[in-house]
Amino acid sequence: MKRVMLLAIGAALLLPAAPAVAQTPSTEYPPGPCTAENTSQNLGTFQIGNTVTGTLTPSPCAFVPGSAVAMAVNGAGAGTKAANGSGGVFVSLQINSATSGLLNDPVTVPLRCGANTITASGQTLGGVTGQGGNITGGPTPNGPATVTGHFTVVCPGAAAAAPSAAGRVAFTGANILRWSMAAAALIAIGILFMLGSRRRRSGMGA
């Protein structure tokens, strides 16, 4: 009986120990290092007069918050932009024409009809993303990374040029056919004149 009571008391003493172990705070495990491979983002399709907006952020880490990130549009340098607290770079590009736009502060940048790119290049870091999207938990420095945002500019003038060109080709073909028929008629008239002249000479010889 005493042995049973001792076992019961021992079990009661061990039961509270389990929650105590479970409630022990765990240390945050930082994610793996950010790779320097390019990250690609699709920003959408726009028309002249629209504004392209988005936040360029490398994956799986982020730019160093507050650091200067080099910007470029279609390969042309467009100054720098400070990374925000979440390690991303907000971009705003106003499309003024088929060949020109204004990026961020603003900086005049070259555009083209069809595919365009905005790139952001800078130093990155790894860490744990905390409340509000800010990086916490002892971020560690990583190498540089480049983020490329792709967007398309739709130019109505370029689409309208195709029917005009087709119309000119059809008109040119009609002209060639018309002149060919006229040339054939002149050749036929010349042959008739030659035949008539030979007949007259034959009649005079007889």
Residues 134 and 53 in one domain: yes
Q: Is residue 185 part of a domain?
A: yes
Q: Is residue 101 part of a domain?
A: yes
Residues 98 and 185 in one domain: no
How many of the other CB atoms lie within 10 Å of CB of 92? 13
Residues 106 and 61 in one domain: yes
Comparing 21-25, 38-42, 157-161, 193-197, the range with the smallest average pLDDT is 21-25
Q: Does the model's pTM come out above 0.85?
A: no
Mean pLDDT is highest, among 7-11, 57-61, 128-132, 183-187, for 57-61
Residues 102 and 189 in one domain: no
The more confidently predicted of residues 26 and 119 is 119
- Residue 60: predicted pLDDT: 78
pLDDT, one tens digit per residue, over 118-155 is 999 999 886 544 445 454 444 556 778 899 999 999 99
**Is the separation of the CB atoms in 121 and 115 below 8 Å?**
no
**Which segments within the chain are labelled E, that is strand?**
39-47, 51-56, 62-63, 68-73, 76-82, 89-95, 100-103, 107-110, 114-129, 135-154
- Residue 152: predicted pLDDT: 97
Residues 183 and 125 in one domain: no
Q: Is residue 10 part of a domain?
A: no
- Residue 18: predicted pLDDT: 38
User: Which range of residues forms the domain containing residue 179?
Assistant: 168-200
- Residue 127: predicted pLDDT: 53
- Residue 173: predicted pLDDT: 56
Q: Is residue 86 part of a domain?
A: yes
Residues 74 and 139 in one domain: yes
pLDDT, one tens digit per residue, over 84-131 is 999 999 999 999 999 999 999 899 999 999 999 999 999 988 654 444
CATH of the domain at 52: 2.60.40
Residues 148 and 175 in one domain: no
Q: Is residue 13 part of a domain?
A: no
Peptide bond into 60 cis (omega under 30): yes
Query: Helix, strand, coil proportions of the chain in percent (round to 5)?
Result: 35, 40, 25
The SS3 call for residue 183 is: helix
